[in-house]
Structure 1
Amino acid sequence: MKKTILKISAILMLLLANLILGQNPIVPAGMYIADPEAHVWKDGKLYLYGSRDESDDHWCSYSHHVLSTSDMKKWTVTENAFASKGPNDQVPYHDELLFAPDCAYKDGTYYLYYCSPGKTKTEGVATSSSPNGPFVNGKKIKGAYQIDPAVLVDDDGQGYYYWGQGKPKVAKLKPNMIEIDSTTTVEPLDAKGNIAFHEGSSIRKIGKLYYFVFADDSRRDKPTCLGYAIGKSPMGPFEYKGVLIDNFDCDPASWNNHGSIQNFNNHWYVFYHRSTNNSQKFRKACIEPIYINKDGSINEVEMTSQGAGKPLDAKAITESEWACQLSGNVRITPLPSTDMKSEGLSAIQNGDYVAYKYLDFKKGINGFEIKATTATPLTIEIRQDSKEGNIIGTCVIEPNANYQIATTTIKNSLKGKHSLYLTFKNDNSTTNNIDWFRFY
């Protein structure tokens, strides 16, 4: 009987490891999926294709996972749907890393467009009868020798292939969907867009307009923004319109962004990534709702913790790694010495703060508790609405080598939807970790 219970527990843990609940980021602890390309296929589910970070020594990895959802709340991970090395190696001509992919569907076949560093080895395509893969028989795409492919199959069945760094390119795909017609290659962005474009092409058709989304470095010397441009033809010209989202404050080392837009159940969303671990790598996919105005423009949106869902319940546990803004040295990292794989806040120094957007502060908020460990006393100022907002509580975490639950009373808490800011005071010791917190 005991062996049966242990076996059932192991199965449940395995299932939970491949099931993710909805909030930002949408990938679980220990999994890093970046460059999210979202598509809704004929089964009505939303599928997300992206690169997978696994080391601080290099970008990305040698395999791709696929995320899928029916409700934007629970996500399923299909691991190793395609690989260039190791199990399910489907790239016979090299063993290079796999950068950002895209996926397209035509006539019963799903086409995974992949890319790798290495001049003439860079871009290719594999196929599957399922949106989850496995994708097989990787073949080179001749004539496209940079990175970050994107594909649009227009209403008439004609396919278009987008790629490039520095300046984007587009060409028509031949009917077999695995070759481009190099004679049709053009640069589709206007002059202003070319200045903003860094890499990371993505393409969607909305009504009669074509939306070109890309990694945008117009605000600073690194592409932390997703920018977009609009055109009346899939070949352009696309007129640059501005920024969709900026992930600059997600992590001390945040460097790039890459993503897409997609309609799901009559709502539009922007899919992007945020850095963690004080690294340019270890990026995690996130989602925010967007609204398309009558003139076709899209207002810039902010990063949130709630993502595509409702504000987080203040009385439920909020995982500390759901912070959508980090200031100072504080970072999101794997946590040591917890009873299961988890991530949280660490390396906190005096004056650092983090923000959570948004929480629903329901009636009867009287207290606050937090699970943490610290080598020296750590004081947390709890504020609503801004980093200078009204302090509704102050929690002191005493030194302890093991995790402890610290509590404090809450006064004058505003009800309803509010952002939460936690400001830290200590002696600049960085030996500290915060796992989660909640109000009660």
Structure 2
Amino acid sequence: MNPLLPLRHFVPDTEARVMPDGRLYLYGSYDISRETTYCSDILHVFSTDDLIHWTDHGVALRSQDIPWASKGHLLYAPDCIYRDGTYYLYFCMTGSYEGVAVSDSPAGPFHDPVPITPADQDSIDPAVFIDTDGQAYYFWGQFHLRGSKLNPDMKTLDLSTLNTCIIDEKEHGFHEGISIRKRNGIYYLLYTDISRGKATCISYAMSRSPLGPYKKGGVIIDNINCDPETWNNHGCMAKYKGQWYIFYHRSSQNSKFNRRVCIEPIFFDELGYIAEVPMTSQGAEPPLSAAAPVSAALACQMMHGPYIIPSADNEIEILSHATNGSWAAYRFLAFDGPHSFSITAAAAINGGTVEIWADSLLLGSCPVTPTGGWDIFRTFYCAVTPVSGIKTLYLVFRGNDLDRRLMDVKEFRFYRDYASPAC
């Protein structure tokens, strides 16, 4: 399900790499929940063999381990590659520091960091790529992308090959966040695209050469409306067990920060173009069962106010600040002809009504009365029109208090019969 990792881990700016042991490793920045700043002074590494169960390998690198950088700077946007028995972790920091550290394990810890010149103190967001002929390439930059061949030491650049404007913001919408992959002879640059007004898209450009020229292909995913304050997106695409996926992040907690990694399968046409995909709640897994309890925090899109926050005890996440006319989408749910519905919600003062929609069909409306406090949750029930199949579920919130918070929601579920209380 989305997000991929447990609640305590807020990992944006991810690179997913299948390493020689066959596991998929996830490298990314590390946000701190409830903080209002990007990233932190540590990097974690995670791995999986099924895209569902993830191992946290702990801290792989700390900013205090970077001897040439100023103290107190934050680490972000790493990439990692394997070559000849060594794993190379490329990273950047506030202050535009860029460097590489090494390890004999894909999980780290990484050590002996050195700067990448001239990328160090020039810009941000490194990306590394080894072509099928063995040549390695290094990319970095914001607003205009730089790139060159890497020398065999994997730590210095062949400046005779340097291209200082592979793609740019004016022509391609390139804002930051580069990642590169190759498929069927086509090189794909994935990047944060600002063309729709915010840097919420991951788009791609295509070429027959690693250093270009590149032509923009289109948007792969847009995380707009994952949170009222969402600003950026950054990720990669990776092939695992025969399927290609896009890894991206979503903001939470009504902020640009507190970002968490998500995943969607992607598909190519016969010319190599990638179809834009929507954000989903299911991610790489089958559709969620409407017959089982569904966490309200699995909403993949929200409009007109709601956002995801940790609960008061920090044990789960909830959907908070539903207001009149706001809605939350859950894509996709598998329905089996339910006749009733329950929602577990808190309403300090007013409460309201929750309309339940499956695609464009209104299934029913469930009243939520005041519970006495935002930390006091009760379960409410109503009958619904039966529906079957895979649908997008929309919860639409209605109330008399037009501008204020009506309710918070913990979870909901559907029932096939009328046996539930008050139905």
TM-score normalized by structure 1? Answer: 0.88
Inter-partner Cα distance in structure 2 for 1:420 and 1:397: 22
Inter-partner Cα distance in structure 1 for 2:266 and 2:170: 21
Q: What is residue 82 of structure 1 aligned with on the other side?
A: 61
Q: Residues 138-287 of structure 1: matches in 2 within 5 Å?
A: 138-144=113-119, 145-187=122-164, 189=166, 194-220=171-197, 222-287=198-263
Q: Compute the displacement of 1:90 (Å).
A: 4.8
Q: Which amino acid aligns with 1:71?
A: D
Q: Residues 10-409 of structure 1: matches in 2 within 5 Å?
A: 23-54=1-32, 56-85=35-64, 89-91=65-67, 93-95=69-71, 96-119=73-96, 122-144=97-119, 145-187=122-164, 189=166, 194-220=171-197, 222-337=198-313, 341-363=315-337, 365-376=338-349, 377-386=351-360, 389-401=361-373, 402-409=375-382
**What SS does structure 1 have at the residue aligned with 2:28?**
strand
Q: Which amino acid aligns with 1:281?
A: F
**What SS does structure 1 have at the residue aligned with 2:377?**
strand
Using a 3 Å threshold, how does the CA distance of structure 1 residues 131 and 191 change in structure 2: closer, same or farther? closer
CA contact (8 A) 1:375 1:429 kept: no
Structure 2 stretches of 5 or more lacking a match?
A: 416-423
**What SS does structure 2 have at the residue aligned with 1:321?**
helix
Across the two proteins, how many residue pairs are aligned to each other? 407
Q: What is residue 12 of structure 1 aligned with on the other side?
A: none
Q: Which amino acid aligns with 2:40?
A: S
Q: Compute the displacement of 1:188 (Å).
A: 5.7
Inter-partner Cα distance in structure 1 for 2:39 and 2:2: 20
Inter-partner Cα distance in structure 2 for 1:173 and 1:143: 12
4+ residue runs over 6 A deviation: none
Using a 3 Å threshold, how does the CA distance of structure 1 residues 267 and 344 change in structure 2: closer, same or farther? same
Inter-partner Cα distance in structure 1 for 2:385 and 2:322: 27
**What SS does structure 1 have at the residue aligned with 2:44?**
strand
Q: Compute the displacement of 1:57 (Å).
A: 3.6
Using a 3 Å threshold, how does the CA distance of structure 1 residues 343 and 133 change in structure 2: closer, same or farther? same
CA contact (8 A) 2:36 2:255 kept: no
**CA displacement, residues 299-341 of structure 1 (integer Å, 9 cap, x when unaligned):** 100000000111001112211111011101111111114xx61
Q: What is residue 420 of structure 2 aligned with on the other side?
A: none
Inter-partner Cα distance in structure 2 for 1:308 and 1:127: 31
Q: Compute the displacement of 1:410 (Å).
A: 3.1
CA contact (8 A) 2:168 2:174 kept: no
CA contact (8 A) 1:64 1:80 kept: yes
CA contact (8 A) 2:253 2:307 kept: yes
Q: Compute the displacement of 1:405 (Å).
A: 3.3
Identity value in percent: 43
Q: Which amino acid aligns with 2:405?
A: T
Inter-partner Cα distance in structure 2 for 1:106 and 1:341: 40
Q: Compute the displacement of 1:225 (Å).
A: 0.4
Q: Compute the displacement of 1:192 (Å).
A: 8.1
Inter-partner Cα distance in structure 1 for 2:118 and 2:214: 22
Q: Compute the displacement of 1:250 (Å).
A: 0.6
RMSD: 1.8
**What SS does structure 1 have at the residue aligned with 2:77?**
coil
CA contact (8 A) 2:329 2:395 kept: yes
Inter-partner Cα distance in structure 2 for 1:327 and 1:52: 27
**CA displacement, residues 176-230 of structure 1 (integer Å, 9 cap, x when unaligned):** 111112221104645787441001010001121111000001111x211011011
Q: Which amino acid aligns with 1:436?
A: E
CA contact (8 A) 1:227 1:245 kept: yes
TM-score normalized by structure 2? Answer: 0.92
CA contact (8 A) 2:166 2:211 kept: no
**What SS does structure 2 have at the residue aligned with 1:403?**
coil
Structure 1 stretches of 5 or more lacking a match?
A: 1-22
